[in-house]
Amino acid sequence: MPKINRYIPSSKTLLAVIKKGKQADFKIWLDFFLTRLYFASTNTAIDIMSGNTAIAGARFFDLGRKIVAVGRNYREHAAELGNQVPEKPLLFIKPPSSYIREGTPIKIPKGCSSLHHEVELGVVIGQRGSDIPEDQAMNYVSGYVLALDMTARDFQSVAKAKGHPWTMAKGFDTSCPVSDFIPKDKILDPHNLELWLDVNGVSKQRGTTQDMIFTLPYLISYISEYFTLEANDVILTGTPAGVGPVVSGDVIKAGIRDIVEYSFRVEQK
């Protein structure tokens, strides 16, 4: 059962309460603990303590344990970087420490001279699952998020040439700017969304999720054969064409048309 630890008062605190003979306080802790245990075990994230009854997923950027990203999921983007379209999804992992939210700048990592923007639809997972059948995959989605898969393209080119992993190119701090959580019912058809991205007011990326090579149910099913998906994990579904460099001082504005938009300033680390 994931996440239980964060909801349990420490045994030291409980002992201190008992020692002081504060039975009423102890009962409150016990109720709190049991209620938390119940919600954690059912994998929901309702924040009882603060009275916040937001739906599971709203704090994916604090609670999520992995970001599984899909490369080359749009034909035109694969072509613009001279890559073949993969026969199976090309996967890589970004760490949750790469998340930033609006208001925090994107930092160009040390030694990087070509930082690229890639706008993407992210899928937030709502419940734990592995070997998920394609026809049940959408039941595992709690919502969506607008994401940037910031990429140190020069690091990636070197890694590709040497057959090395893309970890440094894709997983550095600030490489995953995300929007607020978008509950599932706010997006009726995730395969018919317009993604856009401007740099300093100039249009750079315009694409539709209709052009994804591998659909969401296929991706969720495929990924879950190899990685157990857990509540608050995010799948980044790939970027459409138009990726390109940004430099310190640039402002990236991006959105999912009619749903959400945000902007991030770029700075040198």
Ligand X SMILES: O=C([O-])CC(=O)C(=O)O
- Where along the sequence are the contacts to ligand X (CB under 6 A)? 69, 71-72, 77, 81, 118, 149, 151, 156, 238-239
3-state SS class at 184:
helix
Instruction: Tell me the CA end-to-end span of the chain in Å, nearest whole number.
Output: 38
Smallest gap from residue 74 Cβ to ligand X (A): 7
C-alpha span between 63 and 147 (Å, rounded): 17
Phi-psi region of 25 (alpha: psi -120 to 50; beta: other; left: phi over 0): alpha
Residue whose CB is less far from ligand X, 40 or 236 = 236
φ, ψ for residue 172 (rounded to 5)? -65, 165
Min. distance of Cβ 118 from ligand X in angstroms?
Answer: 5
How far apart (Å, rounded) are the C-alpha atoms in residues 51 and 48?
5
Distance (Å, whole) CA 52 – CA 63: 16
Q: Which is nearer to ligand X, 71 or 109 (CB)?
A: 71
Residue 43 C-beta: closest distance to ligand X, Å: 29
CA–CA separation, 260 and 147 (whole Å): 11
Q: Which residue is at the shortest CB distance from ligand X?
A: 71
Minimal distance in Å, beta carbon 37 to ligand X?
A: 39
Report in angstroms how near the CB of residue 78 gets to ligand X at its nearest: 7
* Residue 169 Cβ vs ligand X, minimum distance, rounded to whole Å: 7
If the CB atoms of residues 17 and 69 are measured against ligand X, the closer one turns out to be 69
Question: Measured between alpha carbons, how far is 220 from 78 in angstroms, rounded to an integer?
Answer: 21
43 or 205: whose CB is closer to ligand X? 205
The C-alpha atoms of residue 195 and residue 75 are separated, in whole angstroms, by: 15
Do 117 and 226 contact (CB within 8 A), yes or no? Answer: no
Residue type, 58: A
- Please, are residues 119 and 208 in contact by the beta-carbon 8 Å criterion? no
3-state DSSP assignment of residue 188: coil
- Per-residue 3-state assignment (H helix, E strand, C coil) for 74-109: EHHHHHHCCCCCCCCCEEEEECHHHEEECCCCEEEC
